[in-house]
Structure 1
Amino acid sequence: MVAPMREELIDAGFQQLLTPDQVDAALQQPGTTLLVVNSVCGCAAAGARPGVTEALRRGELRFDRLVTVFAGMEKEATAQAREYFEGAQPTSPQAAILKDGQLVHLMQRPDFLNHAPEEIAASLTAAYRRTLG
């Protein structure tokens, strides 16, 4: 059931992280990382995945790594990824911008809920410019 939801991000260039060790290996590397906590919820389908992929298609965002975990599926990997979110409440979906393993911006469920993909793409792009630009 979740295969198409995974593929949407994998087709956009994201690497699926399935274990806590894979999460640490990806997020502790130097450089910039976009991490998406994927989900089966409606706001992930209607906003988060299309919004994030739209932002990447626009060509302004340059990340060293694009990675994803799937909430509710790889629970341990998702929990490990959220350890990098510095005390933020866990929500699904989430999109985090990290630099050298440190969180610089986090989009939570309210940032996706009832927002069109274009709005989400614009918000992610603005956060990228503000934090990494």
Structure 2
Amino acid sequence: MPRKSRKDSGCVGGDGASQITAVELKILNVIFKNCDATSKPRLTDWDGIAKPLDMKDGKSAKERFRQICKKMGWFENKEGADQQATPSRKKRALEDADDNRMASSKKIKVEGEDSGHA
């Protein structure tokens, strides 16, 4: 019986690049699905990714990756899906300022009440 060629072994890829088997792809899929939402890779050279994939530019590659992640369920926060997102710096600063103002007004009221009863 003749040996199976690499092409017949369930590999994905081409153009002389390293090829990934269907089993390896399944492993990566499970790993990515079980990653924390915060562990999504932050790539800086999207143009470098777009070029070998014959994509228009880095923006296209980044958007395609986002779509694939959403479709495959990668990097989703499963445990805290019902939790609110972390507020932006600006919103956090406004909330902190409100908290400080409320704390200050409570101190004034408490101090005023104590001194009036003495």
Shorter-chain TM-score tier: under 0.3
TM-score by length of 2: 0.22
Of structures 1 and 2, the one scoring higher in RCO (CA 8 A, sep 6+) is 1
Structure (1 or 2) with the greater helix fraction: 2
Bigger Rg, which one: 2
TM-score by length of 1: 0.20
